[in-house]
Amino acid sequence: MMLKNKFPEEEKRLGLIYRKTAYLNILQMEIDYLSKRFDWDKGEEFKEFFLARFENFTTTLVELIMISINLYERIGFKQNNISVKNFKDILPFLTNPKNNLPSYYQSINDSVDLSLYVCIRNCLVHNPDKIEYVHNNQNPILQIRDIPSDKRYGIFDEYIKNEFEYYIKQLKGKRPQKSFQKYIDGRFPYIQFEFWINKKSNVDVKKTKIGFKMGIVELSEKMLNDLFVLQRDMLKIINESKSIRRRSN
């Protein structure tokens, strides 16, 4: 309520963010509960209900990331013409140092997961044939063997290049040619690479395959936590910048 009182002109947008955040929290608890309480072998209808819940959770979360950034733009920069209008705009905004967000958003370590959430959302909406759900007792797994290159919004191109250089160093001078080479980054074991290495022993970013595999419950918990951190960072900056402007008036 404090932010609503401080920014009455944004009361409706703040209310929307609060409602959607609360809704996501309930959805995540529901996902956790459903995965633990039901026998997956008992019926297809329950499975479809559970997966619909997860898909709703994912699409709503990515939408809320964009809505939160738009609020940050409107209040923090006092601009009505927002720059983040599409999901592909999210990561360029977060990683741009001019937007005054904490510097860790500019690092691959802290932007890979946010990029991944956008990619998963895009596959759910535009490439559902790429999504696989793997039965795994009471912890079903989401798997994408190859995220389409035109849906890899965010920092994945840069990430591929950086990891390829590290991969080559481990080979100690032996550079393969014209082949796929499997690789897993120890920092993100749920992301799998298949580097396509051309005849000049360089990586072809567009032909390189990126896969993903993680339990749905763990993934939903991680997504919600990362959303909370992003919202906290943006709202803190909004709050402090408004206070500074008022003291200077």
For the chain, the structural domain boundaries read 11-248
pLDDT at 249: 38
pLDDT tens profile 107-137:
888 899 999 999 999 999 999 999 999 887 7
For range 147-151, the mean pLDDT: 87
Question: Which structure tokens are listed for 126?
Answer: 């535009």
Question: Which structure tokens are listed for 23?
Answer: 């809704």
Residue type, 136: N
pLDDT at 243: 44
DSSP string across 100-164 = ---GGGGSHHHHHHHHHHHHHHHHHHH-GGGEEEE--TTS-EEEES---GGG--SSHHHHHHHHH
Asked if residues 106 and 95 have their Cβ atoms less than 8 Å apart, the reply is yes
Contacts of 241 (CB under 8 A, 6+ apart): 75, 76
pLDDT bracket for residue 78 (50, 70, 90): low
pLDDT tens profile 40-67:
666 788 888 888 999 999 999 999 999 9
pTM higher than 0.95: no
pLDDT at 47: 83
Which residue matches tokens 């909004």? 238
Would you tell me how many other CB atoms lie within 10 Å of the CB of residue 136? 12
Would you tell me how many other CB atoms lie within 10 Å of the CB of residue 106? 14
Q: Report how far Cα 86 is from the mean position of its chain's Cα atoms.
A: 14
